């Protein structure tokens, strides 16, 4: 049994039976049958069925927020905006676009190499997708990949964090109310070892969101089969504030970006760099803003509880290391139950853990920079590359900076919000992971492409088939010079005429297929 305890007040929220290897294998078999059936449902019909989620969520907002708040300790507005709103947006986006994103695509075909032929790419679902999700946004970070996998035609087995079991239960209950086919969505109860057993049960794709070390273990396990993986890992996201930015707005954004969800967000602002020319003005503004923040539960709190003791220990270690190396802090790191006061740190450097490793808690370290070159160099001086925020009233300059950052995503003159844009593929570079979800690319990533070519040749034999000879070699050489060589079309025809004559039967030159070939030729000119 695993017990779910609320980080708010230590209340017992439920007890859950841990999944065994036997149950996981039985679930995998059932999921495979469900996946086969679901893959045969046309995308339009899948979209109609899944469209029922939106009104269901809207009718349950308060209840959903209650369960999320109790399980995670986050404040109510955070639950609404950080956990539920992105799902509403993603569901709406895929309801509108999934059919066209997944549609079979005609591909232009060279009339010289494949005369009369057509080609296409179909998208097919993987089958069973294992979604392994973390505790910080357990609703959003489980449901977003789960829903995407379903739109793409897969079955899902969800392994939520052992710290988020009531959310796993909630998601499966919501799916049941959509009247999805039996076993299309199932879940497992357990810790990381259950996640490993899930991978050993042989899903067709693993979508993992979590820390770097667990991501490595997931990839290592998946490699034994091998199973493709997408890894959404952590961040150490920089925010660059130039002197020409709107400083008050940048100050409020920095506080929000660093401390929303008590800093337990993969896209939290974890490194704040402020240009020399405004640093001495910006730091007191930041400290003033910090004083206004409220830690607490219910309608008065901006920052809720931290979810786990383990994470608080990391925050404490980063704080202690920074202070030991000469950092100054806005105050001591204080904790009341699981409620932790947010802190700003300065006089920091990249030798400190708080500037190198993901803190995932309410600490905001800030440093100076002199110019664009130094800003880019400091921002890129990290093993992680998830999101980045750039602040300047000169948008061209901000976009120039963004283009030089080693990051999977960036946002100018705002923070965090870009992860909530359902049309933008989201994911990391460097040790922040690989693979993307959200947007068209994110949906296609839950499918694999199958490409096909249909010949419409009326010839008994294609010219490239056996037998080979010196003559056929010369003819093909002439053909290659005609297609790819230099000079005008007339010159290429003239110098290769004897070789081209050998191909006159080839259907590109067959007058009976003239119209079909003209169409192919035009599309090839356009797309190939």
Active site residues: 232, 266
- Complex with ligand NDP: residue 216 or 519, whichever CB lies closer: 216
Nearest to ligand NDP by Cβ — which residue?
Answer: 195
Q: Which token pair is 128? A: 């069973």
- Complex with ligand NDP: residue 83 or 162, whichever CB lies closer: 162
Residue among 75, 218, 240, 327 that touches ligand NDP (CB under 6 A): 218
Q: Mark residues 76-115: x for contact with ligand NDP by CB under 6 A, - for none.
A: ----------------------------------------
- Complex with ligand NDP: residue 132 or 155, whichever CB lies closer: 132
Alpha carbon of residue 54 to chain centroid: 21
To the nearest whole angstrom, how small is the minimum distance from the Cβ of residue 452 to ligand NDP?
A: 34
- Using the structure block, give the residue that is written with the tokens 């010369």: 474
The CA distance from 392 to 250, in Å, is: 9
Instruction: Find the farthest-apart pair of alpha carbons in the chain and give their distance in angstroms, rounded.
Output: 89
Residue 132 within binding range of ligand NDP, rule CB under 6 A: yes
To the nearest whole angstrom, how small is the minimum distance from the Cβ of residue 213 to ligand NDP?
A: 7
Residue 233 within binding range of ligand NDP, rule CB under 6 A: yes
Query: Using an 8 Å Cβ cutoff, are 52 and 205 in contact?
Result: no
DSSP 3-state of 528: coil
The CA distance from 356 to 358, in Å, is: 7
Q: Mark residues 335-374: x for contact with ligand NDP by CB under 6 A, - for none.
A: -----------------------x-x--------------
To the nearest whole angstrom, how small is the minimum distance from the Cβ of residue 127 to ligand NDP?
A: 19
Stretch that binds ligand NDP, among 92-100, 213-221, 246-254, 361-369 (CB under 6 A): 213-221
> How many residues of this chain interact with ligand NDP, rule: CB under 6 A?
31
To the nearest whole angstrom, how small is the minimum distance from the Cβ of residue 266 to ligand NDP?
A: 3
Residue 410 within binding range of ligand NDP, rule CB under 6 A: no
To the nearest whole angstrom, how small is the minimum distance from the Cβ of residue 441 to ligand NDP?
A: 15
The CA distance from 424 to 320, in Å, is: 38
- Complex with ligand NDP: residue 67 or 265, whichever CB lies closer: 265
- Complex with ligand NDP: residue 109 or 209, whichever CB lies closer: 209
Residue 214 within binding range of ligand NDP, rule CB under 6 A: yes
Q: Mark residues 264-293: x for contact with ligand NDP by CB under 6 A, - for none.
A: --x---------------------------
The CA distance from 227 to 202, in Å, is: 8
Residue 234 within binding range of ligand NDP, rule CB under 6 A: yes
Helix (H) or strand (E) holding 205: strand 205-209
Alpha carbon of residue 428 to chain centroid: 7
What's the sign of the alpha-carbon dihedral 472, 473, 476, 477? Answer: negative
- Complex with ligand NDP: residue 115 or 215, whichever CB lies closer: 215
- Complex with ligand NDP: residue 155 or 386, whichever CB lies closer: 386
* Partner residues linked to 124 by β-bridges: 448
To the nearest whole angstrom, how small is the minimum distance from the Cβ of residue 180 to ligand NDP?
A: 22
To the nearest whole angstrom, how small is the minimum distance from the Cβ of residue 2 to ligand NDP?
A: 9
User: Could you give the residue ranges of the DSSP H alpha helices within 368-408?
Assistant: 372-380, 395-402
Query: Using an 8 Å Cβ cutoff, are 330 and 320 in contact?
Result: no
State the DSSP string of 20-54.
PHHHHHHHHHHHHHHHHHHHHS-HHHHHHHHTTHH
Classify strands 105-107 and 433-434 as parallel, antiparallel or unpaired. unpaired
To the nearest whole angstrom, how small is the minimum distance from the Cβ of residue 31 to ligand NDP?
A: 17
**426-465: contacts with ligand NDP (CB under 6 A):** 428, 433
Residue among 71, 109, 118, 136 that touches ligand NDP (CB under 6 A): 136
Residue among 38, 93, 94, 135 that touches ligand NDP (CB under 6 A): 135
Query: Using an 8 Å Cβ cutoff, are 306 and 361 in contact?
Result: yes
Burial label, 330 (beta-carbon count in 10 A; 0-12, 13-18, 19+): middle
Stretch that binds ligand NDP, among 227-235, 341-349, 397-405, 516-524 (CB under 6 A): 227-235
Measured CA distances, 287 to 124, 329, 369, 413, 427 (Å): 53, 10, 19, 20, 32
Which phi and psi angles does 310 have, rounded to 5°? -60, -40
**380-409: contacts with ligand NDP (CB under 6 A):** 386
**Order of strands across the sheet that contains 237-241:** 328-329, 343-346, 363-369, 269-275, 237-241, 389-391, 411-412
Residue 204 within binding range of ligand NDP, rule CB under 6 A: no
Measured CA distances, 439 to 43, 318, 388, 420, 507 (Å): 16, 35, 19, 11, 41
Residue among 8, 24, 34, 141 that touches ligand NDP (CB under 6 A): 141
Residue 192 within binding range of ligand NDP, rule CB under 6 A: yes
**146-165: contacts with ligand NDP (CB under 6 A):** 159-163
Residue 306 within binding range of ligand NDP, rule CB under 6 A: no
Give the binding site for ligand NDP (CB under 6 A).
132-136, 141, 159-163, 191-192, 195-196, 209-211, 214, 217-218, 232-235, 266, 358, 360, 386, 428, 433
């Amino acid at each position: 049994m695993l017990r779910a305890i609320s980080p708010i007040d230590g209340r017992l929220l439920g007890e859950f039976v841990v999944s065994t290897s036997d149950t996981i294998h039985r679930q995998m078999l059932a999921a495979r049958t469900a996946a086969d059936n679901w893959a045969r449902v046309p995308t339009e019909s899948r979209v109609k069925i899944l469209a029922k989620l939106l009104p269901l969520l809207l009718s349950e907002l308060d209840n959903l927020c209650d369960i999320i708040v109790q399980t995670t300790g986050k404040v109510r507005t955070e639950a609404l905006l950080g956990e539920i709103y992105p799902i509403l947006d993603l569901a709406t986006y895929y309801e509108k676009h999934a059919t066209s994103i997944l549609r079979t695509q005609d591909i232009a075909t060279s009339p010289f190499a494949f005369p009369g032929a057509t080609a296409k790419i179909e998208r097919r679902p993987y089958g069973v997708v294992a979604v392994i999700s973390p505790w910080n946004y357990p609703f959003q970070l489980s449901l977003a990949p789960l829903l995407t996998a379903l739109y793409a035609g897969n079955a899902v087995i969800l392994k939520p964090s052992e710290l988020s079991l009531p959310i796993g239960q909630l998601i499966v209950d919501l799916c049941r109310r959509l009247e999805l086919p039996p076993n299309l969505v199932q879940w497992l109860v357990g810790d990381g070892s259950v996640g490993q057993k899930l991978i050993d049960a042989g899903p067709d794709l693993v979508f993992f969101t979590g820390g770097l070390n667990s991501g490595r273990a997931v990839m290592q396990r998946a490699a034994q089969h091998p199973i493709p993986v997408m890894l959404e890992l952590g961040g150490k996201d920089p925010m660059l504030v130039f002197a020409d930015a709107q400083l008050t707005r940048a100050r409020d954004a920095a506080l929000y970006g660093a401390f929303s969800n008590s800093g337990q967000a993969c896209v939290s602002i974890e490194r704040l760099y402020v240009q020399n020319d405004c640093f001495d003005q910006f730091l007191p503004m930041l400290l003033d803003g910090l004083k206004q923040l409220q830690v607490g539960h219910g309608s008065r709190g901006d920052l809720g509880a931290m979810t786990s003791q383990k994470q608080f220990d990391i925050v404490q270690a980063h704080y202690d290391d920074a202070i030991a190396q000469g950092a100054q802090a806005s105050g001591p790191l204080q904790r009341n139950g699981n409620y932790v006061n947010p802190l700003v740190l300065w006089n920091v450097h990249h030798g400190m853990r708080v500037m190198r490793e993901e803190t995932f808690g309410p600490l905001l370290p800030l440093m100076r920079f002199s110019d664009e070159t130094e800003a880019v160099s400091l921002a890129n001086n990290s093993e992680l590359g998830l999101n980045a925020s750039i602040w300047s009233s000169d948008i061209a300059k901000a976009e120039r900076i963004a283009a030089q950052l080693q990051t999977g995503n960036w946002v100018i003159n705002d923070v965090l919000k870009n992860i909530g844009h359902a049309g933008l593929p989201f994911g990391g570079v460097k040790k922040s992971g690989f693979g993307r979800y959200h947007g068209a690319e994110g949906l296609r990533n839950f499918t694999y492409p199958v490409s096909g070519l249909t010949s419409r040749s009326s010839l008994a034999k294609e010219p490239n088939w056996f037998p080979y000879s010196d003559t056929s070699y010369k003819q093909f050489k002439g053909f290659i010079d005609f297609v790819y060589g230099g000079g005008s079309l007339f010159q290429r025809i003239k110098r290769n005429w004897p070789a081209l004559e050998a191909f006159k039967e080839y259907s590109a030159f067959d007058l009976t297929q003239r119209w079909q070939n003209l169409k192919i030729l035009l599309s090839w000119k356009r797309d190939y």
